[in-house]
Each structure stands twice: as structure tokens, then as C-alpha cells.
Amino acid sequence: MQFLLALPALLAALNAHTALAASVIRDYTLDIVNGPVSPDGFTRIGVLANGTFPGPVLTANKGDTLRVLTDGSMRLSTTIDFDGVFIDTDNIYNEGSPFVTTCPFGPNTSYTYELPLGSLLLQLSAYSQLSVQYADGLRGPVIIYDPEDPQADLYDVDDESTILTVADWWHNTSTSGLASYMATQIIPVSDSGLFNGAGRFQGGPLTPYAAVSVTPRTRYRFRLINMSARSSFTVSIDNHTLTVIETDGVATVPIEVDVITLHAGQRYSFVLTANQPVANYWINAILSGGNPSHNANLNATLGRGILRYEGAPDAEPTTPITNGPPDPGPGALAESNLRAPTPDFNLTFLTFMAVNRTVWEINNVSYIPPHVPTLVKILKDGASTEADFNKSENTFVFPANKVIQVTFPPDPTDELHPFHLHGNNFWVVKSNDSDVINTVNPIRRDVSAMGNGGTILRFTTDKPGPWFFHCHIFYHFAAGLGSVILGGPDQTRQQVHPPSAWEGLCPAYDALPPALQ
């Protein structure tokens, strides 16, 4: 991986946040508990928000403040991260990255995240970011709507009924899965794939598939979220075309496809027109994540759903179950074909720093979470240079208000790593699936795959602070495939003034017995 440092261009226009007069505070409570859950027909104990998987949908409008009280009783500590909420520096202590911007909170305690949403328009996946706890069920969608959406003329319906989720699911706990992985270096293969929280495993009960209802001659904006801890999903809908209009919360030039592959943590919006005869149609959500021979429960074709036209019977489609159109294939979505609506930047490079990447390492360093969070070191200890952090923290320090280019050379192991940047998104100058370098109108998103094709990203340090940059396969980043991007440490100290509730998190966490951490 290489970092290139450049002067910013057009940053004010790109990052302007417009306050809306009608903004309100949206209050939600997430009661985090250990409880039974059986999305694929197998009952296990999971870590759940309000006792459900997926967790409750959190919605707000652009310009609102999202205020989430996390409360409850669970065996382990936790912290909540809102992937895709690009909060400002002065609120970075609510960003939720454990041991980067905060300490976790323990059982029978609570913490309130207050997130001003500015002019964001996005869909994202929350919640847990601690170790691989996410795999135990503490995940759910967050949708932020734009009442003045410039794409509104492309669709008729966009509400909670059009939120689609795919996720991998394990019958064993994440702690046993992580122990197995660390001993064997083989990531556990999930027992099933889920669509909208329902699926089946090989030989298991015929759990009802989740159905999505549509009315003929109506256009729907579907918001598709991959909430997987590991797996990619290839999604298609029999007999229907999908018009992609957004990636990871950022509008794109509409492009028609018949199949979308999304990696862990990625999100897309697509428009579907209900223009087929009244019937039930398969929603194909085909899981890809490891060697199926490692888990006989996994049948990748069983994590599917049903598109049900109004007037169709309450039944499964009568057509055969297939994997849908091929990807790669002539109708498949290629990230390299996505375009921003307008040109974004024109940069001049100044210097560079080489970073070699190997599997589970960045710059030959495996990331190990520090005992004292990065933000605490910056605010309390005056940490300002890379030498002020442990080598294993893998913290890269840059000046504020610069544009950084990150180059991932081709990975000879042919692993796909969906890399995610917290607090910011990036321009995908070169996608892994193409040799084309696009510096005119590349898309902006916050998760993009690194693999054997090589990838080039650019992002800005116009929001000072430490931001986690890691592989979104939770087992990979738990084993070291992570880093911290720190922009403007001096500016961070000037802008960040946490409340006493945040100040008390680390002492309270440190006082917990190890079994509760």
C-alpha cells in the first residue's frame, strides 16, 4: 500500500454541509441483550439490539440529530459504530471505534451517541465494532433521508419497506469462531446467508423466506446493505432490471444492471420498476465467503427472498431456484463503470510514502488495539507524530487539509479485502476490477475491495482526527489488517472537547474484570 500526499482542490464545495431549518432530534434506545435468535431456523444465543436480528431500523432526515441511547445487560462490553455517518471532528468521540476514538462500555451501563447529520444522504450498517462481536447479531440498518433528494424523480417509493439487507450467519459464537481462526488461520465459513434477516441452512427447517411487496407500475428505490461479518453477496431479481443510483450514500450516474455484487460493509441504492406480470419472483442473494467444504450447513443458494406483486399468492415462486445472472457477466455491475454526477477534483502530488501490504499486515505491521485509545493519547498526552504511538497501532500521521492517495498493489494471494475508512469517504480512482485510472469523475464511497487487480483511493484530511482504516472482514481486522489515519493532531486538540460521559468510559472499562471486557 502506498500513500501519496497532495494539496486539496475544490474541498469547500465537496464537503459543504447545509443546515436544514426543519431539523429535529431523533431519539432511539438500543437495549443490548443476550437472547435467543433463530433467523435460519437454528436457535442460538446472540448479542441483540432490542432482542431482534437485524436490529431495529434507525431513520432520520438530512440535517437532523440522531441520538442513540445504548443500554442493557450483556456478557461482554461493546461499542457502537455508525458506518457511513461522517461526523465532524468536534464530535469524533461519538464515532464509536473501540480503542481508536473511545473505550467500550460494560454490562449494565449505558452511553448516548449524539450525531448531528449535517447534509448527509446515506444508508449504512451499524452497530458493534468490538472484536468480531458483530457476527453475534449486533447489527442493523440506519437510513438518513433527504427531503429534497435531487434523485427523487427517479422513483415513487422509498421507505422502510424498501430496505434490503443481506448477512452471513453463524450457529457458533464469535468468540469460538475467532479462537478457531487464530489457531488455524482459516476463517470460519458461515452456516447460512440471510436476506432481510431470514434464510435456511442445508438440512434445516423450511424457514419462511422474507417477502418484499410491490405494486404494479410503481418505481421503488431499494436500499441494499451487506451487513456481513465476512461474506460477499451477489444479488439479482428474476426478470427485473436494477438501476443503480447510489454507492455507500453518494449519488452516482444511473446505470442499468441485472446483478450486483457487494462486499462486506458495502451499500447500494437501485431503482426497480414493477413492470412484470403479477406473480412471485426470486430475489437471489448468493453468498460467497470461504470454502463451502469447511461447513456442510452452508448452501449458498438458500439465502434468498421473494419479490411479491400485489395480488400474487402468499407462496414461493414456482420458477426454478437459480444463482441469477453471472458476475462477471455482460449485465453485472462493475465498480469501475460507476461515475460521479460531476467532476470532483484536479490534484498535484507533492510527496509519497511507500507501504508494502501482505495478508493480515499493513507495512509489515499487524494492528493491535492499544490499551489507551488513539484519541485519548492525542488529547491527554499530546501525541502528534507516528513515534508517539506504539508500532502495533499502525498510525499514519498527515497534515490537516491535504488529499491523500492510497495505492494498493495487486495482491498475489488473490484475497479480496473490502477496505473501509471511518468518518470519511474516498474517491475510487482505480477499481480492483479494471485497469482504468479515472481522475475526472470517480465515484466516492467508503468501502472498496482490494485484490489481485490493484486499487487506488484518494481521500482528504479536511476533518482532523484519528480515523480507523481497515478490512471490513471482521476476522481479518481482528487478526491485524487495520490502521489509523490521523490528520492534523494539533487541529484535533483545538476542536475536540469531549463531555464527562466520554471521559468516564476508559476508567470504567479498565475497572471491569477481564471476563466482562
What domains are defined for the chain?
A: 2-13+342-510 (2.60.40.420), 16-145 (2.60.40.420), 160-337 (2.60.40.420)
Q: What is the mean pLDDT of residues 254-258?
A: 97
pLDDT at 7 over 50: no
267: its cell numbers? 451499500
Q: What is the mean pLDDT of the chain?
A: 86
Measured distance CA(406)–CA(417) in Å, rounded: 14
Residue with cell 447529520: 117
Q: Tell me how far apart the alpha carbons of residues 189 and 298 are, in angstroms, rounded to a whole number.
A: 8
Confidence of residue 118 (pLDDT cuts 50, 70, 90): low
* CA dihedral sign of residues 333, 334, 337, 342: positive
Confidence of residue 16 (pLDDT cuts 50, 70, 90): very low
What is the pLDDT averaged over residues 120-134? Answer: 62
The residue-averaged pLDDT of 357-377 equals 85
Q: Which amino acid is at 270?
A: F
| Average pLDDT for 52-72 | 84
Query: Is the Cβ–Cβ distance between 253 and 346 less than 8 Å?
Result: no
- Burial class of residue 195 in the structure, from the number of CB atoms within 10 Å of its CB (0-12 exposed, 13-18 middle, 19+ buried): buried
How many contiguous H segments (helices) and E segments (strands) does the chain have? Answer: 7, 32
Q: Has residue 23 got a pLDDT over 80?
A: no
- 477 and 444 Cβ atoms separated by less than 8 Å: no
Record the pTM: 0.87
CA 179 to chain centre: 24
- Supply 138's cell numbers: 449486533
pLDDT attached to residue 358: 46
Rounded Cα distance, 101 and 95, in Å = 6
Q: What is the DSSP secondary structure assignment for residue 495, as one 8-state letter?
A: H
Decide the pairing of beta strands 110-116 and 65-73: antiparallel
Which of 63, 56, 60 is closest to 80 using CA atoms?
56
The separation between the first and the last C-alpha atoms of the chain, rounded to the nearest angstrom, is 33
Query: Measuring CA to CA, which residue among 355, 353, 390, 360 is closest to residue 374?
Result: 390
pLDDT at 113 over 60: yes
